[in-house]
Amino acid sequence: MGNRYIKINENDNVAITVNAIPAGTIVMDAIPANQDIAQGHKIALCNIGEGEPIIRYGVTLGYALHSIKKGDWINEHMLKLPIPPALDEMEFATNLIKDLPEPPVRTFMGYPNKNRGYAGTRNILGIVTTVQCVTGILNNAVKRIKQELLPKYPNVDDVVEINHTYGCGVAINAPEAKIPIRMLQNMVKHPNFGGETMIISLGCEKLTLEMLLDEEYNTPDNVVIFQNEMGHQAIMAEIIRMAENKLKKLNERVRVELPLSELCIGLQCGGSDAFSGVTANPSAGFAADMLVNAGATVMFSEVTEVRDGVHIIAERCVNEEVGKKLADEMKWYDQYLNNGQVDRSANPTPGNKKGGLSNIVEKAMGSIAKSGKSPIVEVLSPGERPTKKGMIFAATPASDFVCGSCQLSSGITLQVFMTGRGTPYGLATAPVIKVCSRNDMKDMWQDLIDVNAGPIATGEATIQEIGTLLFNEIIDVASGRKQTFAEEYEIYNDFTLFNPAPIT
C-alpha cells in the first residue's frame, strides 16, 4: 500500500498521513489511529500533555491546548501559536553551505539585454500605464495590436499591458508610496521587454512621467499622453503607430546561448498543504541550489511564510549587513500587520488547513524549504532590483498575486510556483512552471500542473530526482523550447501592486 505516514525529523512527535486513513488503522510502531485522519493531517506519535510542544520539522509548531493521546488526529484547533523568533538576537553567517549540487548544464538560450540587467526568457512588447484612467482605451488598443499587428512579427511572443490601480487619488508623497512607485519604475525596464517598453499616460495624474521614468525612457518615442491627442480615434492611432515601431525592433531580437548567470527566476508557493514542505518545495530548493551553483539568481519571498523560520534564514545570510536587512524587513512587516490589528496568524487559508497545515509556523517551515541550502547573498525590499547574483530573499507579502508582481518588478523572467491544493495562477510577463505536491493533484489537474513532486511522498522518487527534473524543465522553458500550461492557455493573473500607503 506504500507509505502510510511521513515523519520529517527524529525529534518529531507527530507524522502526516500519506493517504486518508480510517480509525483503527495501524500507522507506525503499532500505533492505531484513534479517529479518521484525512490525507496530509497529523497523527500523534506519543502522548502529549496540555501545554507541551507539538513538534514537526524538528520545530515547535505550537503547544497543546489540551491533552492528546498517542494515535489522535491533531488539527488547527488543538495548538496555541508560539511566540515568533526574536529579531534582535539572531546569528548571521553561521551556516554557509558551499557544497551545492552540480547542475546538468550551465547555459540556456535567452535574449541578451546589454546594460539592462538579466537576459530575457520571452520577447514581449510591454506597455506600462501611469494611472488606471487609461486602462479602458489601452485594453481595446491591445486587442487591435494583437489581431492586426502581432501576426506580422513572428519573433515577438506577446503584447502585455501593465494595468494597475495606482497613479492618482493616492498620497503620492507618503513614505511608503515608494513601494508601488518603485515597482512600476522597475517594470518599465523588465528584461522580457527588451528596452522597447511603451508608457501610457493620461496627463494629469499624480504619478508624473518624471517620477516614473528616467531620461532614456521619457521621450516621445516611448510615451503616449492621452490629453495631448484629439479624441479617441487619435489616441488609438498613436498607440498603434508606436506599437508597430516597437514590434519592428523587438522582432529583431534573437535567442543566443548564455551563461546561467544571466538568468533570474522566482520561487513562490500558493494553495499549500502539508506535503508542500515534503515534496514540491524541497524539490524546488534542490533545483534552486543547482541554479545558484551555475551562477543564476534565484529569489524566494513571502515574509509571513518566513517569519517563524527567520532564524534559520539568518544563519544563511553571508554577512551581518545582509542579516540586518533581513531583520529590518521582518520588523517593518510586523509593524505593518500590527497597524492592521492582526499578526502572521492571519496568513493560513481554509484550504491550507484542510490540506493539513495547522498554523503559520507549520506553513512557514514548509515554505522556506523552497530556498534550498544556498547562502543568501542579498535581501530586497518589495520591488527592489538585485545587485548580487545567487540566492536572494525578496521581501514581499505572501499574497500570490502581489508576491508575483513584486518579483516581476525585481526582475524575474521565470517563476516556479509550488502548490498542494491547486491554483491556475499565471503571469503574463514571465512563464510560470507549476509544481504540485501530491499525485492526486496531478491526476486531477493533469493539464494545469507542469511537474509532479507527489512521487516523493509515496517513495517512488527522491527529492534529488524531482529537483533535477525541475531544473531541466526550468532550462527548457527559459530557453523557449517548452511552454508551460499557463502560457499555453494564456492563464494570467492581474499585475497587482503592493501599496501600503494611503489612498486619498
Kindly report, residue by residue over 117-140, the tens digit of the pLDDT: 899 999 999 999 999 999 999 999
**DSSP label of 191:** G
Residue 158 has pLDDT above 50, yes or no: yes
**DSSP label of 278:** T
Query: What are 145-156's pLDDT values in tens digits?
Result: 999 999 999 999
What is the average pLDDT across 94-116?
A: 94
pTM for the model stands at 0.96
Distance CA(348)–CA(355), nearest Å, equals 11
What's the pLDDT score for residue 27?
84
What is the average pLDDT across 28-55?
A: 94
What's the pLDDT score for residue 56?
96
Q: What percent of the chain has pLDDT over 90?
A: 95
Distance CA(405)–CA(179), nearest Å, equals 12
Quick one: 292 exposed, middle or buried, by C-beta within 10 A (0-12, 13-18, 19+)?
buried
What is the average pLDDT across 408-424?
A: 97
Distance CA(496)–CA(403), nearest Å, equals 9
- Give the CATH fold of the 110-250 domain: Ribose 5-phosphate Isomerase B; Chain: A, (3.40.1400)
Tally of CB atoms within 10 A around 147: 9
What's the pLDDT score for residue 380?
98
Q: What is the torsional sign of CA 149, 153, 157, 159?
A: negative
* Residues 6 or more apart in contact with residue 74 via CB below 8 angstroms: 14, 41, 42, 43, 44, 54, 68, 358
Q: Using pLDDT thresholds of 50, 70 and 90, give the confidence band for residue 3.
A: low
Q: Using pLDDT thresholds of 50, 70 and 90, give the confidence band for residue 1.
A: very low
Residue 464 has pLDDT above 50, yes or no: yes
Query: What are 280-310's pLDDT values in tens digits?
Result: 999 999 999 999 999 999 999 999 999 999 9
Cα–Cα nearest to 45, from 20, 10, 78, 21: 10
Distance CA(104)–CA(351), nearest Å, equals 36
Cα–Cα nearest to 442, from 284, 281, 280, 285: 280
What is the average pLDDT across 365-372?
A: 95
Mean pLDDT of the chain: 96
What's the pLDDT score for residue 20?
94
Residue 2 has pLDDT above 60, yes or no: no
Query: Which run of H or of E encompasses 256?
Result: strand 256-259
Distance CA(298)–CA(287), nearest Å, equals 10
What is the average pLDDT across 86-103?
A: 96
Query: Which run of H or of E encompasses 127?
Result: strand 124-129
Lowest mean pLDDT among 140-144, 349-353, 394-398, 487-491: 349-353
**CATH hierarchy code of domain 1-83:** 2.30.130.110
What's the pLDDT score for residue 172?
96
Residue 314 has pLDDT above 70, yes or no: yes
Residues pairing with 160 in the sheet: 126
Going from N- to C-terminal start, the domains of the chain cover 1-83, 110-250, 259-488
Query: What are 434-457's pLDDT values in tens digits?
Result: 999 999 999 999 999 999 999 999
* Torsion, CA 391, CA 370, CA 500, CA 317, rounded to 10: -40
* Residues 6 or more apart in contact with residue 443 via CB below 8 angstroms: none
What's the pLDDT score for residue 461?
97
Query: What are 216-269's pLDDT values in tens digits?
Result: 999 999 999 999 999 999 999 999 999 999 999 999 999 999 999 999 999 999
Residue 316 has pLDDT above 70, yes or no: yes
Query: What are 173-222's pLDDT values in tens digits?
Result: 999 999 999 999 999 999 999 999 999 999 999 999 999 999 999 999 99
